[in-house]
Amino acid sequence: MRRVVAQGTFDLLHPGHLHYLEDAKSRGDCLDVIVARSENVTHKPAPVVPDRQRREMVAALDPVDGARLGHVTDFLVPIREIDPDVIVLGHDQHHDEETLAGLLAEEGIDCEVVRASARDADPDAELLSTGRIIDRVCEHRC
């Protein structure tokens, strides 16, 4: 069985998240998703939705076989527990494939690192980022 890992914040789920997870699932037999804890999200604004609720929503999506929260201090803990064959990064995630692959190799974790495709969509017709969803809500409700 080929195990795949996807990871992300998954705040305010949107079609871009679903595309990412469907793409990741297509690369193996079992998809495990690691949902970032709010306290570990430092590269963008903190999530609006609480950790447990984001994990529950991701777990309910059809492509997902299992979802868990990331570790508080060591992001490699769930990777070691899952022992994936491949890690699929989102098309716009800030991680660098080569840097991550090097770190995994240093830790003795043998898995492929690949980047998911972007969803082909009309940017005016679909909201494919949490930030754009928040902006739209503020435009219409604030």
CATH number at residue 74: 3.40.50.620
Contacts of 128 (CB under 8 A, 6+ apart): 14, 15, 16, 119, 121
Mean pLDDT of the chain: 92
pTM for the full predicted model: 0.91
Residue 52 pLDDT greater than 70, yes or no: yes
Residue 60 pLDDT greater than 90, yes or no: yes
Task: Give the number of domains in the chain.
Answer: 1
Residue ranges at the known binding site for ATP: 9-10, 14-17, 92
Q: pLDDT for 65-120, tens place per residue?
A: 999 999 999 999 999 999 999 999 998 888 888 999 999 999 999 999 999 998 88
Name the pLDDT band for 123 (thresholds 50, 70, 90).
Answer: low
Question: By residue range, what is the domain housing residue 57?
Answer: 3-141
Residue ranges at the known binding site: 9-10, 14-17, 92
User: 79-103 as b/e, with b when 16 or more CB fall inside 10 Å?
Assistant: beebebbbbbbbeebeeeeeebbeb
Summarize the confidence of residues 56-65 as an average pLDDT: 98
Summarize the confidence of residues 12-39 as an average pLDDT: 96
Contacts of 105 (CB under 8 A, 6+ apart): none
